[in-house]
Structures are given as C-alpha cells and as structure tokens.
Amino acid sequence: MLTAWNQYHQLITAKGAKAGQPYVCPGCHQPVILKRGQQKLAHFAHQQHQLCGSSESESPEHLQGKWFLATDLRTIFPRVTLESYLHAIRQRADIRCDQVVFEYQCSPLSTQRLSERIYGYAQIQLVSFWILGNRYYQQRCTASSVQRFLRFRKTIGYYLVFLLEPQNQYRLRYQIQLHDHRLQFQERSFTSFQAVQHFWSKEHLQTKKPESLSHVTKTVARRLQHGQAPYLELQLSCYQAGYNLLGCPLIVHWPRFQSPLMKPDWLGWRVRCLLLLQTRREIAVTTHYQRSCNLIRRRATYPCLHDVNNLIFAQFEVFLTALIRQRLVQRTPTGVILLKKIPWFSDTSVKLKEITKQEGK
C-alpha cells in the first residue's frame, strides 16, 4: 500500500510518512508497517499473519506504476485519490478520479474476479478503467487472460492500454481485429495518459489489403487434417447437409476483417448461416445470431465491454449486407430469404483455382 491513516486519521503517503509513527490500514484498521528499501518504493505493509480483505502483496512494478499513474492523472483530473478505500463495497481502488476508477493490473486476475470488481464499482456509480502491466504486455493478444480486458472505441476499434515499468511508458494496442483466423493490431507508445486520450479522440482506423485467400483455405485444410475439434465439428455439420467444409463458397470469407470477439467461431458462424439458408431457404436472423452469440460467450467473456451482443450483431449485419450485394439473399420482416442456390466447390483444389482466377482480375 502507498497510503495509510496516521494517528490523527489523516491519509498519509508512504513517501511522506515519518518513521516511528503509528499507521493503520484504511480498509481493516489494523496497524501497518512503513517500509523503505532499495528494491521497492516506500510503502506500508500489514504485519505478518494479519488478514485484510482489501489488501494483497504488491510487486515493485505495481507500487511504482500506481504512483506514476496517480501523478500523471493529476494533469487531467482536478481530484485524484491514491488507493481510495470504498467502504460500501469493501474494495480498494488503485486510483480514483471523481467518478472514474483506474486499476493498474499486474498480477493474474480471473474473469470472474474481474467481473466482480467491475460490478462492485458500477453498484456505486463508478466507471472502472483497467491498465495492464508488463506481464500482460508480454503475453499474446489472443490469450484469454489478455482478451478479457478488451475495450472498444469507434475511432480506434478494439484496444488495450498498457503501462510499462520502469520506463513509465504507455503502450496502446488498437484496431485489434481478426484477419481471417489471425489476430492483428496497431501499436503506439505515449509518455502520458493525456496523450493517449488525445490520440483516440480522432479517427485512426487504417484500411488494409488482405493477403491471398489461398492461405486461409490451406490453413482450414491443415487444421482438419490435424483433427482440431472446432473444424471437425463444422465439417460434420457440412457433411450432414451434403457439403464439404473445404469447398465452402468464397462469400463465407467476407468480410476478411472482423471483430476479435468472433475468434472462437471465426469461420463457423458464417458457414452455419449458409447451411441454414441452403436447407430452409429462409432464416430468422435473430435466432441464428443468438445461437452464435451463446457459443462465443461460452468460450470467452468480455467484462470490460458493455454491449457485447450489439458488437457481435454488427458482424452479422456486415455479412448479410455482403450476401445482399451479391444478390444471393433478400431481407424479410423477420430475417432473410435465399434468392438462388449458392454453389459449393467440390474440393480444395477447385476452390484454390477459383481464388487464383478471382484475385488475378
């Protein structure tokens, strides 16, 4: 902890505390010890065997990053409180700036615990913003431990904010998106959070040219060959309808770039949509959307996103628009109806030849 109460019930920072004076934890009211050393920033620690629900062992990175963040945020917010203890929810916020709480997360945190923390703040009308430490920066963006912190802005798409210590440097990974099955992102460095805010206040989404569709077609073939469960399940659905997954129509791959939320089912939801259309000719979009939504949310959870269902539904709208533009389907009051049969390829080689022909135009 970087703050504690003195004998006069005043909140004191460890940096300005005097040795030999009594201090207590604002959360549990138990005595704490002032510590100063070479490895860690000056801080308060509970005595051995003391239990405190609002406190946990903190790394030098967390202590230093929290101090830097509080100092930096004072250039933006008029009131910044370091380690604000919220009695109503028995939770200690790293930094509180009016109605916004900033959390600097360095240690592992489960989805359930993250959801509980966010919900706790929301109960008392506080918005939480999570900034990630070095451990998360070194992990792949595809890791569920990182993805659960995803946020979204129209100007930069899906994004994550990191604070790297001891450099005191922010890293913004933005326009996080799927290019077919692979996750891609842009990255920028900043020296202040104000600079991060200024950056995302303007449009920074870039249009990229996709690589050849032959790569993703071969990838699907390899994953089937290696017996990966999601692809085998999808192939079984295709077989039951009289088709081969490796021969799925090219329209299934459009748009080539999509939301990272679709990663658990990046290809399947579009293939199943076509299979339903081929067998029923008319489908209720909301029904198919809800099935895919449930599947995606069973495999991944995004506590930092407040409108996950709408963000996923937006992907359905983009795909349906592509089908409508190709005059393959037409909207109805409840969904879409198939206008003409969509041909599938007999095998991978035939599909690859068509891809070469289309991309050579």
E strands present in the chain: 3-5, 11-13, 23-24, 31-35, 43-46, 81-86, 91-97, 100-105, 127-132, 151-153, 157-164, 169-179, 182-190, 257-258, 282-284, 329-331, 335-338
Both tokens assigned to 114:
């993250």
Q: What is the pLDDT along the chain (361 residues), one digit of tens a residue?
A: 788 878 888 888 888 888 888 888 887 778 888 888 777 788 888 877 666 755 667 888 999 999 999 999 999 999 999 999 898 998 999 999 999 999 999 999 999 999 999 999 999 999 999 999 999 999 999 899 999 999 999 999 999 999 999 999 999 999 999 999 999 999 999 999 999 999 999 999 999 899 999 999 999 999 999 999 999 999 999 999 999 999 999 999 988 999 999 988 899 999 998 998 888 888 877 777 777 777 666 666 899 998 888 898 888 889 999 999 999 999 998 889 999 999 999 989 999 999 999 998 6
- pLDDT in the model for residue 71: 96
What pLDDT, on a 0 to 100 scale, did the predictor assign at position 280? 85
Task: Tell me the CA end-to-end span of the chain in Å, nearest whole number.
Answer: 63
* CA dihedral of residues 16, 77, 136, 47 (deg, nearest 10): 30
Asked whether the CA dihedral 304, 308, 314, 319 is positive or negative, the reply is: positive
Written as six digits, the tokens of 278 are: 């081929």
The whole-number pLDDT of residue 56 equals 66
Query: How many CB atoms sit inside 10 A of residue 273's CB?
Result: 23
Which pair of tokens denotes residue 81?
Answer: 């409180």
Q: What does pTM read for this prediction? A: 0.89
The structure tokens listed for 122 are: 């929301």
pLDDT recorded at residue 308: 87
How far apart CA 44 and CA 54 sit, in angstroms, is: 13
